Amino acid sequence: MSRNIAPVKLEMLLVVVHDKKTAYYSSLIQQQQANLQITMPCKGTTHLILNYLGLTDRPKTLIMSVVREDESASLVSLLDETFKKGGDYKGIALTVPFSSMIGALAYGFLSNEKQIKENS
């Protein structure tokens, strides 16, 4: 049996959200065919202005996720609609294309490719 995985381009999805909604957004992204996610604390886009005014910045989280190129536009649209709820749901999202990927099994996992072609 051999496995052939058709090439689907991958992108890195970067999402900055309020700390309180990290689990919510992580779950939302995972439901959209994303197999890998990394989260880390980060500074929001307005932290410098708030520091000048003596105000504290609200903690933010960066969610990095590998997504298929053919799924990324719909995922970014879904995130945009959720951001429009306002309050703690606000955030930003963008995608960056992968330039290359090595290894068919790793590629298959990251792209959530389930097609397996068997040869006799």
Model confidence over 78-111: pLDDT tens digits? 999 999 999 899 999 999 887 655 566 777 777 7
Helix (H, G, I), strand (E, B) or coil at 5: coil
Q: Which residues, including other chains, have CB under 8 Å from residue 2's CB and lie 6 or more apart? A: 117, 118, 119
- Give the span between the Cα atoms of 98 and 120, in whole angstroms: 33
Contact 68, 25 (CB under 8 A): no
Low-confidence ranges of the chain (pLDDT < 70): 1-7, 44-48, 50, 54, 56, 99-104, 114-120
Which two tokens mark 86? 């306002």
Amino acid 115: pLDDT: 60
The pTM of this model reads 0.76
